[in-house]
Chains A and B, each alone.
Chain A
């Protein structure tokens, strides 16, 4: 960060009065505690009950909801699907984004337009995007007739109706929406790396690939880790697009944890069970976050954040 951080003035050397601090801090803290943290704690509490969300909480059943969840095929499919999207995102989507970021890191006319176009899907609503793709992918609609038209009729699938294929279709659409986001992130990271470093490596006799692999890539580490982390958290809580396109179907084949939770809590009036699913989702998030903290330590988040210069 270019600007030096503020040295506390003489006035601030002694602790500020609590009244002043409270006036600044409490409104945000109260809102955050009440509507974000408190519900998370509530979820853990509700998860110990058999509860339909309306009657008084009386039927304490301990950890039974968790047992039910882990024994339920529907839920284990949901977990598998979330993990599948995480793995595919890391294996395909982020490398693809990195590849495009590297391409866009050169100087050529129209660069800004490509960036503008690639990032566009990120600002569109997932639900609305889902509707458009549903229409495109209907049997006999444009995608099918297009494939037939160019002689690739063999590839035609029941894109959203085939239990074995629906997650792949959804993954492609999710990538359509989010690769530009990761690309822009990685592009910003690349632009923060002085070109001289790679040039020096080239002069010293490294090949282009070597210079990228051993000089640029390690320096891009912090940005890549942020990208990986965001991608994982996003993949764990997938809901909007899938709900609109398949509602978890066919036959629960595209269920995710968030969809299973929503169905249990609001469609089947199993608030207790749904809360248990929420807690399991939280645990997955926690593992990812802790792993991230462990590998990255705090300075990465701080670094990525404080690099901001308005």
Chain B
């Protein structure tokens, strides 16, 4: 069956990495074809999680987490405010400004990278986790706004009238009525933003300059360079580094898929 073959091809490299992490280098090089390790070697994984490589690993995981938290909070917060204005306010130039954001979905973001490097340096943010988180929030704004706007628009106007009669201000309505109702949409955009920031590579590569600031993707690349002769250790490090993404995927798959297929504007 075709589907099973394709699924096998998808899982094959992942399985290779997981099992390879349990092998010794002798096993990996001497007998690459055997599927299961014999004997099972646990030191690669324990070194990464608790042993000699654990300091680097946990530091990088923490950096990734900090950047993702700041970037996602900023982008979802600011995009909600802006999407509210685009969805429920009438003002001159609204569609023009909205189009400006849509434009952000249409060009390759790599274009902005070199001047961004200069800009972040001028702002004194280079080598600072914030210097990565803030631009990432900015880059995530267009997709977030484009997904949120129609959702905000679909909330019945009667609710807004009722809230106003009860004395709600514009912000009060936004904060106490609209945001709680929009929770599914907010979950979706947050999940998409987390995946993007967590996996970001080019931006942190350019903007971070010290080992103690590396995020997981940068850390894995450098680890692979540093331990080029120790493949089993690289595989173990790689596997541990992708575990958060896999867990997250298992939990949030529905949101990722609905967000991307509904708001299919950028991959």
Enumerate chain A interface residues (CB-CB to B < 8 A): 1, 3-16, 18, 20-21, 23-25, 27-29, 31-32, 34-40, 42-43, 46, 53, 100, 103-104, 114-121, 123-129, 131-136, 140-142, 144-146, 149, 176, 178, 180-181, 184-185, 187-189, 223, 226-227, 230-231, 233-234, 236-237, 239-240, 243-244, 257-258, 261-262, 265-266, 271, 274-275, 278-279, 281-282, 284-286, 289, 292, 301, 304-310
B171 to A: closest C-beta gap in Å: 8
Kindly list the 4 A-B residue pairs having the minimum CB-CB distance in the complex, ordered from nearest. Answer: A308-B262, A42-B115, A237-B108, A188-B261
Chain B residues numbered 95-118 whose CB sits less than 8 Å from any CB in chain A: 97, 100-102, 104, 106-118
* Besides A9-B157, A35-B138, 7 new A-B residue pairs in contact (Cβ under 8 A), listed by A number: A5-B153, A35-B139, A118-B10, A176-B10, A262-B206, A271-B118, A281-B111
Choose among B112, B137, B185 the residue that contacts A31 (Cβ–Cβ < 8 A).
Answer: B137
A-B contact pairs, 19 of them (CB 8 A): A24-B84, A32-B141, A32-B142, A35-B134, A36-B141, A39-B114, A46-B118, A117-B10, A125-B220, A127-B221, A129-B13, A178-B267, A233-B108, A265-B113, A271-B114, A304-B265, A308-B258, A308-B259, A308-B263
Contact between B111 and A285 (Cβ–Cβ < 8 Å)?
yes
Residues of A within 8 A of B116 (CB): 35, 39
Contact between A114 and B261 (Cβ–Cβ < 8 Å)?
no
Residues of B within 8 A of A18 (CB): 91
Give the number of chain B interface residues (Cβ < 8 Å): 110
The answer to whether residues A24 and B81 also contact, given A6-B155, A308-B147, A308-B150 and a CB cut-off of 8 A, is yes
Choose among B101, B145, B206, B220 the residue that contacts A131 (Cβ–Cβ < 8 A).
Answer: B220
B176 contacts A by Cβ under 8 Å: no
Residues of A within 8 A of B79 (CB): 28
Contact between B33 and A142 (Cβ–Cβ < 8 Å)?
yes
Contact between A1 and B154 (Cβ–Cβ < 8 Å)?
yes
A134 to B: closest C-beta gap in Å: 7
Residues of B within 8 A of A274 (CB): 114
The answer to whether residues A140 and B198 also contact, given A117-B7, A132-B235, A285-B108 and a CB cut-off of 8 A, is no
CA A16 – CA B93 in complex, angstroms?
A: 13
Contact between B17 and A239 (Cβ–Cβ < 8 Å)?
no
Contact between A234 and B82 (Cβ–Cβ < 8 Å)?
no
Contact between B238 and A230 (Cβ–Cβ < 8 Å)?
no
Contact between B248 and A123 (Cβ–Cβ < 8 Å)?
yes
Contact between A309 and B89 (Cβ–Cβ < 8 Å)?
no
A266 to B: closest C-beta gap in Å: 6
Residues of A within 8 A of B89 (CB): 12, 16, 20-21, 24
Closest Cβ neighbor of A4 among chain B residues: B154
Closest Cβ neighbor of B146 among chain A residues: A305
Contact between B147 and A28 (Cβ–Cβ < 8 Å)?
no
Contact between A31 and B134 (Cβ–Cβ < 8 Å)?
yes
Contact between A141 and B157 (Cβ–Cβ < 8 Å)?
no
Contact between B78 and A31 (Cβ–Cβ < 8 Å)?
yes
A-B contacts counted at CB < 8 A amount to 337
Contact between B141 and A8 (Cβ–Cβ < 8 Å)?
no
**Which secondary structure characterizes the binding site on chain B?**
helix
Contact between A282 and B156 (Cβ–Cβ < 8 Å)?
no
Closest Cβ neighbor of A138 among chain B residues: B231
Contact between A32 and B224 (Cβ–Cβ < 8 Å)?
no
Question: Looking at B78, B87, B114, B265, which has the most chain A CB atoms within 10 Å of its CB?
Answer: B114
The answer to whether residues A236 and B108 also contact, given A8-B90, A118-B7, A123-B248 and a CB cut-off of 8 A, is yes
Residues of A within 8 A of B7 (CB): 114, 117-118
Residues of A within 8 A of B161 (CB): 9-11
B256 contacts A by Cβ under 8 Å: yes
The answer to whether residues A278 and B114 also contact, given A15-B92, A119-B253 and a CB cut-off of 8 A, is yes
Contact between A282 and B78 (Cβ–Cβ < 8 Å)?
no
Residues of B within 8 A of A53 (CB): 117-118
A122 to B: closest C-beta gap in Å: 8
Choose among A185, A239, A281 the residue that contacts B260 (Cβ–Cβ < 8 A).
Answer: A185
Residues of A within 8 A of B160 (CB): 6, 9, 11
Closest Cβ neighbor of A302 among chain B residues: B150
Contact between A28 and B157 (Cβ–Cβ < 8 Å)?
no
Closest Cβ neighbor of B11 among chain A residues: A117
Residues of A within 8 A of B231 (CB): 135
Contact between B10 and A308 (Cβ–Cβ < 8 Å)?
no
Choose among A103, A119, A128 the residue that contacts B2 (Cβ–Cβ < 8 A).
Answer: A103
Contact between A32 and B138 (Cβ–Cβ < 8 Å)?
yes
CA A236 – CA B110 in complex, angstroms?
A: 9
Contact between B262 and A28 (Cβ–Cβ < 8 Å)?
no
Residues of A within 8 A of B90 (CB): 8, 12-16
Encoded as 1 (CB less than 8 Å from any A CB) or 0, chain B from 242 to 267 comes to: 10011011000100111111111111
Residues of B within 8 A of A126 (CB): 199, 201, 217
B13 to A: closest C-beta gap in Å: 5
Choose among A20, A233, A265, A307 the residue that contacts B262 (Cβ–Cβ < 8 A).
Answer: A307
